[in-house]
């Protein structure tokens, strides 16, 4: 089927778009909307992570679970919120760890687009959610699609850093070739678990050290 997505990703992922599950996924979301359900993010931002970070530019993959489910928060980049929206607790903890790791000032906003523009794919494993219902679209086919995305990156690219925070993200490590890529894992930055191994993980500096050692430009984590 025809999907509006950045061109390099379209060529990589077209086999997924042509599979029955993806058509069923689209049909489901259309039915949700026609039945008056509010879906986040807005339709034009479903594939924002792909549009902001073309396939050939991907050097880091940061994996989230599903979009924020409160009004105004989700814009298609995991953990990120648009300008003018207060950073949620997990994002505040990410900024705290970033500051402790690299001394980077904590920003006054939560928009991570600058990371995406530098090759950090900010990928949720589900790309949509129903308003005020977390994980409501986690079983409609997105997982199959994003698993395929992770496999394609693992197979077709070299020396990518995969950052997996929390049990859900860690479960995706079986999709990644550990001999080609650098896999970083820690507990989730949620206030419920950040003290169990997220704080002090130093994943930002470890990511940049890996990139530099493999001839790639490090990420400027400043926002």
User: What are phi and psi for residue 143, nearest 5 degrees?
Assistant: -60, -40
Which tokens go with 72? Answer: 């105004």
Q: Which residue has the tokens 């607790």?
A: 89
DSSP per residue over 163-190, as a string? EEESHHHHGGGGGS-TTTSEEEEE--SS
Closest CA to 196 of 184, 188, 205: 188
Which tokens go with 203? Answer: 């994943």
In the set 66, 101, 147, 158, the catalytic residue is: 66
Specify whether 66 is catalytic: yes
Active-site amino acid positions:
66
């Amino acid at each position: 089927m025809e999907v509006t997505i950045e061109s390099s990703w379209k060529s990589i992922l077209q086999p997924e778009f042509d599979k029955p599950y993806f058509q069923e996924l689209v049909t489901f979301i259309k039915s949700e909307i026609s039945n008056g359900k509010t879906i986040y993010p807005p339709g034009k931002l479903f594939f924002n992570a792909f549009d902001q970070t073309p396939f050939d530019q991907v050097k880091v993959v940061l994996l989230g679970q599903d979009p924020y489910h409160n009004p105004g928060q989700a814009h298609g980049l995991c953990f990120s919120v648009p300008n003018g929206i207060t950073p949620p607790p997990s994002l505040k903890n990410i900024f705290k760890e970033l500051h402790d790791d690299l001394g980077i000032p904590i920003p006054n906003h939560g928009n991570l687009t600058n990371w995406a523009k530098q090759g950090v794919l900010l990928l949720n494993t589900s790309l949509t959610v129903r308003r005020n219902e977390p994980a409501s679209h986690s079983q409609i086919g997105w997982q199959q699609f994003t698993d395929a995305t992770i496999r394609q990156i693992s197979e077709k690219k070299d020396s990518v850093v995969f950052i997996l925070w929390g049990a859900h993200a860690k479960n995706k490590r079986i999709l990644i070739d550990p001999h080609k890529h650098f896999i970083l894992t820690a507990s989730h930055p949620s206030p419920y678990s950040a003290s169990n191994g997220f704080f002090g993980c130093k994943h930002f500096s470890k990511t940049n050290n890996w990139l530099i050692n493999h001839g790639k430009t490090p990420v400027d984590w400043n926002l």
